[in-house]
Each structure stands twice: as structure tokens, then as C-alpha cells.
């Protein structure tokens, strides 16, 4: 599923606009660069600038947090900024960890996995789940986002973590059409179906339609 809202965006003809990707997560940067390679923008990341304190993610939804981060970093750095907020939603846990996915208890992801399995132990399988990615793109001077979208990928929580690939919750997210977790597939196969790949492909289409060539 992908939901999209967009507004007009223009740049000076003949220039390649710089765009900030507001994350320091190397896995996310790798995926986003892969999707946006060849798009008519020059990508910058937060590590290209002096350190900026992270904002407090106070939103109650992925969309609210994505917009909060996009506005915050766009103002701090002075560039058009795309930010995303993403996480794991588990039906048996009433949608948790949801927007708290990165902050779910545990210093490492194996520790987070163990906590989730303890919570899920009293619930019958299959444990239906989805990854969600909300994206927001803003200009420093614009009060309203120029583009937003939200994308999901449906799956289940695997009985145990499997696979060395990906990052975050990928090793426990089982995708039935692949008969594997997202930790067992290549970046290319993951991006073809995953939430972040879907969202940033929509963003790429929007950039290519709105960039003033």
C-alpha cells in the first residue's frame, strides 16, 4: 500500500538541486541512495554537516514523526529535506512496537527480538505484522510539506530470527511470497517489495515529474 500527497516544487532551470536525506542510519542511507541513484538531485546526508542534535520524536504516528524530522533538519541545515519514519507493527501486540520500534527495550536488536518473542509467546501463530514507512519532503521556507507518502509491506513474525542481511527487525520479518525473512535476502530483493523501497520509489517519481529540467 502507498498513500501519496504532493505539492508543486521548482528549482532554477539548469541546476541540480541539493537534497538532504535526514538519517544517520547506514542501512537506510544505503537503501535510499540505491533507489534515488540517477534522479535529478544531488544527495547530502547528515554526516556531511556539523553535528545537529536529534529532535525528540513526539509524534503519535509514523507520518507525524517523519514530518517533524523533515521540518527540523531542513531548518537546521537550510536544504530541502526528505525524512522518513518507519517501524514494525504487530497485530497481536495491538500495533506495537510501532513508532517506538527503534526505542523498544533492548540495547541490541537480538535483545529487542527476545523481548518481542516473550510478549508473543502467549499469542497463537501466525503473528501477522507489517513494516510501515512514512516519508515527508519539505523546503526550509515552506510551512507545508511538498510531498508525503506512506508505504507498507505485509508479512509475519518468524518463529526465530534468520539471516545475516538487512538491518533492524529484518531477520524476524517473514515475507511469505519469498518464503524467507528479509534478513535472508539481498538488498535488491528486499527493496523490490519493502516499505522503504516503495516509499522512495514514489518520491523518485515525484522528483522526476516536478524537477524543472
Active site residue 85: yes
Contact 131, 194 (CB under 8 A): yes
Helix (H, G, I), strand (E, B) or coil at 134: strand
Distance (Å, rounded) from C-alpha 107 to C-alpha 87?
17
Distance (Å, rounded) from C-alpha 54 to C-alpha 96?
23
Q: Which three cell numbers stand for residue 210?
A: 516536478
What Å distances lie between residue 81 and 3, 147, 164, CA to CA?
19, 11, 31
Catalytic residue selected from 12, 47, 85, 187:
85
**Terminal CA-to-CA distance of the chain, rounded, Å?**
30
Residues assigned a catalytic role: 85
Amino acid at each position: 500500500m502507498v498513500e501519496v500527497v504532493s505539492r508543486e516544487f521548482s528549482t532554477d532551470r539548469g541546476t541540480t538541486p541539493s537534497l538532504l536525506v535526514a538519517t544517520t542510519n547506514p542501512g537506510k542511507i544505503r537503501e535510499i541512495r540505491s533507489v534515488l541513484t540517477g534522479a535529478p538531485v544531488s544527495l547530502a546526508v547528515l554526516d556531511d554537516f556539523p553535528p545537529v542534535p536529534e529532535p525528540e520524536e513526539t509524534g503519535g504516528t509514523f507520518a507525524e514523526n517523519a514530518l517533524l524530522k523533515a521540518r527540523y533538519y531542513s531548518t537546521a541545515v537550510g536544504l530541502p529535506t526528505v525524512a522518513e519514519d518507519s517501524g514494525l507493527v504487530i497485530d497481536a501486540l495491538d500495533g506495537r512496537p510501532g513508532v517506538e520500534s527503534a526505542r523498544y527495550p533492548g540495547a541490541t536488536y537480538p535483545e529487542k527480538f527476545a523481548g518481542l518473542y516473550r510478549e508473543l509467546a502467549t499469542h497463537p501463530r501466525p503473528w501477522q505484522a507489517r513494516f510501515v514507512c512514512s516519508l515527508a519532503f519539505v523546503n526550509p521556507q515552506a510551512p507545508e510539506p511538498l510531498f508525503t507518502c506512506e508505504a507498507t509491506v505485509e508479512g509475519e513474525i518468524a518463529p526465530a530470527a534468520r539471516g545475516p542481511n538487512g538491518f533492524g527487525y529484518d531477520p524476524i520479518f517473514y515475507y511469505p511470497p519469498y518464503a524467507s525473512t528479509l534478513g535472508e535476502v539481498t538488498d535488491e530483493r528486499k527493496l523490490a517489495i519493502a516499505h522503504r523501497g516503495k516509499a522512495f520509489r514514489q518520491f523518485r517519481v515525484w522528483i522526476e515529474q516536478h524537477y524543472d529540467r
